[in-house]
Structure formats: structure tokens, C-alpha cells
Amino acid sequence: MTAGGGSVLRPGDWVSFDGDDHQVVGLAGTAVRRRSAGGAESVVLASYLMAAPDFAVTGVEPLPEMEPVGLLETLPEPARAAAVKWQRHVVEVETGLPPSA
């Protein structure tokens, strides 16, 4: 969200916007509810907030490192076979059709 990216906007985060610091107190769809350092609350569209020239997420920890893709292939064969079986089942539950349909 800053120029370098890598941040996720979450309730509790502090953001700089419109020359003031605000705490994110809620997220709903594309709306961000925020409370200024002075205690005034307002709601703003996330796109408007993040497009502001002075917008920055402040005081947040960096996102955790993502595991490399392909971890399934590193599992022992019995565990991999069980995972594939469950994956097929989950796809069928979510879509109503087995993956091969």
C-alpha cells in the first residue's frame, strides 16, 4: 500500500492520510472505517484512501515469508496421495462436480 507494497490493511493498523494519522477500526467491502488521532471517526472508500498521495500504512510488521510453491511434491507419497484425495473431495463439495467431470 505504500510505494514498496507488501502491506495488508487490517483493523488496528495506523495509516497516514490527509495530513493526519488514523487507526483502521473496521473494514466492510470497499469501505474503511477509521478514527483520527483526535478521536473523530469517518468512513472512506479504500480506493480513495489508498490513492491519496500521502497515504501510508505505518507501524506494521512485514508480511510473513511465503512458502515456495510445490510443497505438495516434497511430501512422502502416502501423504501426497491422501492430500490429492482430499483435494478432489473438496472440489466436489464446493462445485458439486468431481474434478474429472
d(CA 1, CA 48): 12
**Could you tell me which residues are beta bridge partners of residue 44?**
32
Whether 2 and 57 have beta carbons less than 8 Å apart is answered as: yes
What pLDDT digit, counting tens, does each position of 42-91 carry? Answer: 999 999 998 999 898 887 766 667 666 777 788 899 998 898 888 888 88
Q: Where are the domains of the chain?
A: 14-58, 69-101
What pLDDT digit, counting tens, does each position of 7-48 carry? Answer: 578 888 899 988 889 999 999 989 999 998 888 999 999 999
